[in-house]
Amino acid sequence: MSFVDTLRQWDMAVTCVERQDLSEALKIFLSIQDPNSKISFDIGCLHFLNKDLDAAEKAFDCSIRKDEHLAVAFFQRGMTFYKKKRYEESLADFQQAFKALRGNQLIDYKVLGLRYKLYACEVLINMALSEAQLGNWEEAHKNLVKALNYKTDAKLNIIDKALDSALKQKLFKPVEFPSKVLFKPNKHYVAELEKKDYLGKAKVVASVVPQDAFSGFAPLQPQVQDGPTSPKEPEVLRALEGEAHTVLFQFVPETSDELAVVPGNVVFVLQKGADNWASVIFNGRRGLVPYNYLERLEMSMASKQNEGIPQPPSQEPPTRPKRKPGLTPRSDSSDSERKEEQPPDNSLIVKVRFTFTFAVSVPPGSPYAILIEKISRKLNLPMTAITLSLTPEVTGPSVINDSTDMESVWSRASGVHITLWCYAKEQTDHSPNIEVPLVALYSYESSNPEDLKFHRGDTITIISRVNQDWLEGQCNGDTGIFPASFVEEVPVNDQ
């Protein structure tokens, strides 16, 4: 079957699915001879919808044979095995899908014709569920904790619910792929399937070629003598900027122009400063990372790295280099939001600790009214419902209000930074003053600066309850938020 015929039938089948005519779509798909990996994936999804799991398994087998790096095909075959209660094979496929993600937070298949994003945290949730079905609850819990390192705000609630169920050794729901979402053929190729009928004749009106009086149609002729004869460099090769490097150690940013990365990520170094900081690009975002946290990656070898994600180094990360003025992340139109967040050079940055941590910028020496108005707008709360404090404890001398001498407040700033504590009116009655001691059941690590890190057995003092699943507390001199399922109250006798 020719490529054009395959393309035409593929487009017809996808159109049938959009009209909810699944049986006709499957009939057209099955008539395609020697389907490629994407078409085999689409066939597997339709069999999966029809609950014909044996046929779905064979289709996904074919898709994986033709593209062994198609993570979403491993994910779907893993779900097929899970439905057939073959949990060991299901676990192996989810592990292969996670391996194909190569340490990235997600894969967006939109450029390949599939409107779907495969998230690493969702793959880890299904890995944990397969382990739970096999009775390996400890491994299930480890995978869910690992999922927190790959979390996004939209997926955090799913991970928390799964963790809560795993702690009670109860099964939870798997994350399933929407099987009616299929790979579509390239729309530009489909547009070329339509026959074109050109009417009339083309006639040269103006030309740089002397005495050019040709009329009609002919192959394109060069209009400039000694013009280029070699093809243009492909756009995709010129789109890559910087040198590829592998991240060796986890880096947690401390300022807005620094970038969070974890071991195994591949970043592109745009510029290296004399202070050992590098301006890099990762997943479309630009920021600063210590250069001694990176290792140069040869691009010729990158295509051969199919053995798996390298294990992070066992030694401690190098010390954080000191920042010198001069090196800043290069920005473009995609960084407009970051530019808006950066305060003017003469502004004072106020870090506010609420049930979460945020920052506002105010002019130096600002009165109380300007400060409280900015915080009120940020929290969407009335100014009368907000209490500001210089310390975590709300006491008389520490409270900031309209009668406070603001010069004494701003004198506490370290450079252009100052930290304040903020409580809503309904919180100041109980949350800040009741210090409930908790003990950590598990270690909690996170790259988010607003999170509280601790180790198993550490004692944590609760400050407030963010919601049903998250708390804010203090441990080892640090303040931040953490999952409530990771701690328990200290028994009264132990206190």
Q: What's the predicted TM-score (pTM) here?
A: 0.42
- Please give the structure tokens belonging to residue 70: 């198609």
Q: What would the pLDDT profile of 100-137 be if each residue is shown by its tens digit?
A: 988 888 898 988 889 899 999 999 999 999 999 999 99
Beta-bridge partners for 472: 464, 481
Nearest to 152 by CA among 447, 478, 356: 447
Q: What is the pLDDT of residue 242?
A: 79
Residue 476's pLDDT is: 86
- Which residues of the chain does CATH 1.25.40.10 include? 3-167
What's the mean per-residue pLDDT of the chain?
79
All residue ranges of the chain with pLDDT < 50 are 224, 226-239, 300-310, 331-344, 427-434, 492, 495
Q: Where are the alpha helices (DSSP H) in 332-445?
A: 336-341, 368-379, 406-410
Contacts of 489 (CB under 8 A, 6+ apart): 436, 437, 438, 439
Ranges in the chain annotated CATH 2.30.30.40? 238-300, 436-489
Strand-pair partners of 253: none
How is domain 238-300 classified at the architecture level of CATH? Roll (2.30)
Residues 192-232: tens digit of each pLDDT:
665 555 555 555 555 555 555 555 555 555 554 544 444 44
For the domain spanning 436-489, the CATH number is: 2.30.30.40
Distance CA 80, CA 456 (A): 37
Residue count (the chain): 495
Name, in order, each residue with C-beta under 8 angstroms of 44's C-beta and a sequence gap of 6 or more: 55, 56, 57, 58, 59, 60, 63, 73, 76, 77, 80
Which of 56, 79, 86 lies closest to 125 in space, CA to CA? 79
- What's the rounded Cα separation, in Å, for the pair 260 and 450? 13
Q: Which long-range contacts (CB under 8 A, 24 or more apart) does 473-481 make?
A: 473/438, 474/392, 475/440, 478/452, 478/453, 479/353, 479/392, 479/452, 480/357, 480/450, 480/451, 480/452, 480/453, 481/355, 481/356, 481/450, 481/451, 481/452
Name the phi and psi angles at 223, rounded to 5.
-95, -5
CATH 1.20.58.340 applies to domain 3-167: no
The CATH number that domain 346-424 falls under is 3.10.20.90
What number of other Cβ atoms are within 10 A of residue 179's Cβ? 19
The Cα–Cα gap between 458 and 439 comes to 6
In which element (H, E) is residue 74 found?
helix 71-83
CA 286 to chain CA centroid, nearest Å:
14
State how far the alpha carbon of 285 is from the alpha carbons of 267, 268, 320, in Å. Answer: 10, 11, 21
Both tokens of residue 241?
């900027």
CA max distance for the chain: 104
Identify which of 474, 451, 374, 462 has the alpha carbon closest to the alpha carbon of residue 153. Answer: 451
CA distance 322 to 345: 20
The reported pLDDT for the residue numbered 301 is: 41
The DSSP output letter for 230 is S
What single-letter amino acid sits at 168?
K
* Cβ(61)–Cβ(81) below 8 Å: no
Which residue is associated with the tokens 């066992």? 314
The pLDDT value given to residue 157: 80
What pLDDT score does 149 carry?
84
Residue span(s) of the chain under CATH 3.10.20.90 come to 346-424
pLDDT of residue 335: 45
